[in-house]
Amino acid sequence: MKRARVSVIMLILLLASMFTFAFSIQPVKASGTIYIRADGSIDPSTAPIMRDGDTYTFTNNIFDSIVVERNYILLDGAGYKLQGTGDTDSRGIDLSGRTNVSVKNIQIENFWHGVFLYSSFSNSVSDNNITNSWDGIALTFSFGTNISGNVISESGDYGIWVWGSDNSNIVRNSASANYAGIALDSSSSNDISGNIITANDWTGISLETSTSNSVSGNVVTNNGYGIIVWESSSYNTVSGNSFANNECGIRLEVAADNSFYHNCFTDNYAQFSVSFGYPNVWDDGYPSGGNYWSDYVARYPSAQELDDSGIWDTPYVLDENNKDNYPLMEPWTSLDIDPDTLNLKIKEKWITAYIQLPEGYNAADIDASTILLNGVIAPVLDSKYGFVTNSREYLVDHDGDGILERMVKFDRASLASWICQSVKMRHEVTLAITGELTDGTLFAATATIFVF
């Protein structure tokens, strides 16, 4: 692998021909691949990593790969950069064969695999920013991995790729502008929840030959397919997700015996695509209900509400083997943004979100500390504000329908910065909120605002 080198040579002539001085200035950079050896030592010892017991912390940017050979350690990037050259099969951080290693807070750029795990157990990859790699995080034949809070973008293939791996948690990540956001292949019993998955070319989520996975509380917008379930995938549960403004909301190809309920399929160019002859379950029975379909009224203009239940009385038919028997009249979780038109030139303090939960749930149970806007912006939680501490201020009936909503405020400048950096077309912008109730129940919702 080529090493990135910066060398500055200055030739200073003093007193005409008497003295010549040459200076070579070398920033602190890794000299080849860095190893954290099984005995705990850092090789080479000059690498910009400081060891304190089992904690290894970056002290500067690193321009090569790191191979971890020791278990039960924390590798903390402290916000510094780990950058490669994009060589085939290069690995930013290689955790092959590792157990209980945590990797966090690193800006990882330009590797074939940003973080690579093979035959690994109970590791954690969290709160990293991974860009311009072929795969952001590659998880192969590894088990019990926690992948959380990462921002992964511009991968040539997958943001997060899980192959032959089980019992892992992929939660509260942001995956955008990749070929695919999150892809599972031949993997089982994984939890994909609370992720923001946007603007991926092929698909937001892919389940291939994978069984018994849970996909819940994700916001999946502006992708090719929202989700693809294919090639003999079965017994997966997809619930409480928002699939909005995708080319196709959901595609099922040679996939049967999966369950889909409490999802919102909103304004996708095509809501669904299913292969004939493979039955799946599309509701959670009555009165729990099925899914929200934004094209329902256009397809079934004569439908009526069923027994004041918030459920339509006419099934939503995908094909003769796939039918939502209890389609929802309103989204499972709804979101209202005020203002819904945002002038980026106006310097105001807040933008306000109102979150309404479905019947049977209480907005007072929303844990505000878990809420994220677009996967990266936390709400204002400073206790000096009454709208943070006083339930009479943050529990309101904003839309006047008799149901209380949870109000949270976000810093307007932070949202404006996100829009300028992340959204190329500023006219219509889809905002996404994810969060949890105090009992761990996940929710997700989207809203569209106009920006100029």
| pLDDT at residue 31 in the model | 53
Starting at the earlier edge strand, list the strands of the sheet with 169-171: 49-52, 55-58, 73-76, 101-104, 124-126, 146-148, 169-171, 191-193, 214-216, 237-239, 259-261
Counting beta carbons within 10 angstroms of the beta carbon of residue 351, is it exposed (0 to 12), middle (13 to 18) or buried (19 or more)?
A: buried
Q: What is the mean pLDDT of the chain?
A: 89
* Range picked from 21-25, 103-107, 275-279, 286-290 for highest mean pLDDT: 103-107
Q: pLDDT digit string (tens) for 53-65?
A: 999 999 999 999 9
Helix (H) and strand (E) counts in the chain:
4, 45
Domains and CATH numbers, the chain: 34-324 (2.160.20.10), 334-451 (2.60.40)
Q: ∠184-189-192 over CA atoms, to 5°? A: 55
CA–CA gap between residue 327 and residue 283 (Å, rounded): 8
The helix or strand, by DSSP H or E, that contains position 316, with its residue range, turns out to be strand 316-319
Higher-confidence residue of 125 and 359: namely: 125
What is the arithmetic mean of pLDDT over 292-296? Answer: 97
Give, in order, the Cα–Cα distances in Å from 151 to each of 45, 136, 148, 175, 214: 30, 9, 9, 6, 21
The secondary structure of the chain in percent helix, strand, coil, rounded to multiples of 5, reads 5, 45, 50
Query: In the structure, what pLDDT confidence band is assigned to residue 277 with cuts at 50, 70 and 90?
Result: confident
Q: Report phi then psi at 433, rounded to 5.
A: -120, 135
Integer-rounded Cα Rg, in Å, for the chain is 25
What is the arithmetic mean of pLDDT over 127-141? Answer: 97
Asked if pLDDT for residue 70 goes beyond 70, the answer is yes
| pLDDT at residue 347 in the model | 79
The helix or strand, by DSSP H or E, that contains position 414, with its residue range, turns out to be helix 412-422
The helix or strand, by DSSP H or E, that contains position 392, with its residue range, turns out to be helix 391-394
Least confident of 22-31, 103-112, 294-303, 307-316: 22-31
Asked if pLDDT for residue 444 goes beyond 90, the answer is no
High-pLDDT (> 70) share of the chain, %: 92
Torsion sign over Cα 271, 277, 281, 286? positive
Beta bridge partner(s), residue 305 = 312
| pLDDT at residue 442 in the model | 83
Q: pLDDT digit string (tens) for 9-25?
A: 222 222 233 333 232 33
Query: In the structure, what pLDDT confidence band is assigned to residue 28 with cuts at 50, 70 and 90?
Result: very low
Per-residue tokens: 136? 């952001």
| pLDDT at residue 12 in the model | 28
Asked if pLDDT for residue 225 goes beyond 50, the answer is yes
What is the arithmetic mean of pLDDT over 140-157? Answer: 96
Asked if pLDDT for residue 429 goes beyond 60, the answer is yes
Asked if pLDDT for residue 85 goes beyond 60, the answer is yes
Q: pLDDT digit string (tens) for 167-200?
A: 999 999 999 999 999 999 999 999 999 999 999 9
| pLDDT at residue 27 in the model | 40
The residue whose two tokens read 């505000």 is 368
Q: pLDDT digit string (tens) for 355-386?
A: 999 878 899 999 999 999 988 899 999 999 99
| pLDDT at residue 308 in the model | 87
CA–CA gap between residue 86 and residue 69 (Å, rounded): 23
Least confident of 43-52, 133-142, 374-383, 417-426: 417-426
Query: In the structure, what pLDDT confidence band is assigned to residue 1 with cuts at 50, 70 and 90?
Result: very low
| pLDDT at residue 5 in the model | 25
| pLDDT at residue 425 in the model | 54
Q: pLDDT digit string (tens) for 373-426?
A: 988 899 999 999 999 999 999 999 998 888 999 999 999 998 888 888 766 556
CA–CA gap between residue 317 and residue 322 (Å, rounded): 6
Higher-confidence residue of 88 and 420: namely: 88
- Residue 129 DSSP SS3: strand
Asked if pLDDT for residue 352 goes beyond 60, the answer is yes
Asked whether 418 and 424 are in contact (CB, 8 A), the reply is no
The helix or strand, by DSSP H or E, that contains position 293, with its residue range, turns out to be strand 292-293
Asked if pLDDT for residue 3 goes beyond 80, the answer is no
What is the arithmetic mean of pLDDT over 273-296? Answer: 94
